[in-house]
Copies of this chain bind each other. A is one copy, B any other.
Amino acid sequence: MPKYPDFAERVDRVPASVFEKFRPKMKEKGPVLIHLHIGDTYMPPAYELPMDAAFLKKRPYFNRYCNTFGVERFRRVLVEKLSEDNGFSVNVDNLLATSGATNALSASVMTLLNPGNEILVLTPCWPFFPGMVKLADAKVVEVPFYVKLYEKPELNIDEYLQSHLTQRTAAIYLNTPNNPSGKVLNQNQLNSLARFARQNHLWIISDEAYDGLLFDGRKNISIATLPGMFGQTISIFTFSKSFMFSGLRLGYLVGDHQLVQSVNKTMVHQLYSPSTLSQYMMVEPVKQRHTWIPGLCRQYQDLRDMFCEKMKVKVQSPEGTYFLFFPIEEYLAGRDYWEVIDAFLEEGVSVAPGGDFGADFDHYIRICFTGEPPERLEKAIERLNSVLLLK
């Protein structure tokens, strides 16, 4: 049995941080390095933070623990937002405030998956999700999905997923808008997925972190709002993306009351509750979101278009999120994939290696087109094109 100095075995199962191996080189490059491997925005929030002495005075409990389900006033304004923007008919009992979408996903995985259970992880996927499944002693079954839907929108989803199903399959991890591919599932695709989940009694963990960051007038459809799906879905949202406040670590999940109570039981044992102050801070920005989110989306869409135009690679224009995701194999010119990743760093641009998003994507790279101010993005594009030998 492990005692000092050994750690628990689950630690070895979980992959180390995605960018660990690049840290020394990134540090060495210093401020020259343009960080496009991240998933964040260079901009401060597009709204004012209502933080001053008067604000705090009106909220005398700002420094104290809150109800572990979240601050009532915060959850009430989210109920309205979910109704207006996402088509949910829920009340505060269906909401749990969390420390970002990461925490919501982690608590959901621990609440739904037994050791030995399998979860269909539609890929490419956010790199930390498989690690969460492994921490819960459950098994990741990767199913290449989002890039395939760009290529084949009419894919027979039922037949396709069926081939990955076993007696141990307990859930599906869905993420639309998708990080890293920028794919946004349409109504037909979501209907098929929903039918498949219902027929096979599978939970759906629906990661909607990029809710609100959609382009070309698209809308985010929450699978939980499709007929018969609310009970078997956990819908997960965050303030890190469209609310531009990843540094606040605030998110929330929506589900059946009993499900929310169970996830809360897990979450209180991970961190008790999210920050009371953070929740107070986000009440006004949620109320005011229609005044600033549309403008933000236009700015991000312009950055997307600039990138797609100036990058001389073949790249699918993303439908949402702030990422470009594309294969680079045809630009290797005899070089090894990792030599090229290294050459990007050498030239002063960090990109995220595709293999971290799923086994089928080890010839891809992901680029965040909001990670740095526009003038540095333009410089990055030149450097990327140059390393890929594209004039």
Contacts and interface: CB of A to CB of B under 8 A. Distances in A.
Contacts of A68: 17
Contact of A44 (B63, B202, B247, B278): B63
A247 B61 contact: yes
A102 B272 contact: yes
Contact of A275 (B40, B60, B115, B248): B248
A33 B264 CA distance: 25
- How many subunits of this chain does the assembly comprise? 2
Contacts of A1: 114, 116-117, 167-168, 170
A66 B247 contact: yes
B248 A110 contact: no
A3 B201 contact: yes
B14 A106 contact: no
Contacts of A115: 115, 137
A266 B200 contact: no
Interface string A219-236: 000000000000110000
Given A9-B114, A40-B65, A167-B1, A272 B244 contact: no
A232 B5 contact: yes
Contacts of A131: 268-269
A76 interface: no
Given A17-B68, A275-B278, A8 B114 contact: yes
Nearest to A99: B271
Interface in A185-206: 197, 200-203
A135 interface: yes
A64 B232 CA distance: 33
A182 interface: no
Residue from A111, A244, A268 with most neighbouring chain B CB atoms (10 Å): A268
B275 A3 contact: no
A4 B265 contact: no
Contacts of A244: 63
Interface of A: 1-5, 7-11, 14, 16-17, 38, 40-41, 44-45, 49, 51-52, 56, 60-66, 68, 99-100, 102-103, 106, 110-117, 128, 131-132, 135-137, 167-171, 197, 200-203, 231-232, 240, 244-249, 259, 262, 264-266, 268-278
Shortest 8 CB-CB contacts between residues of A and residues of B: A247-B276, A103-B271, A102-B272, A4-B232, A3-B201, A99-B271, A65-B246, A131-B269
Given A1-B116, A64-B247, 17 more contacts: A1-B117, A4-B232, A8-B113, A10-B114, A11-B265, A11-B266, A14-B266, A62-B247, A65-B247, A102-B271, A103-B272, A110-B135, A128-B268, A137-B137, A247-B275, A248-B277, A249-B275
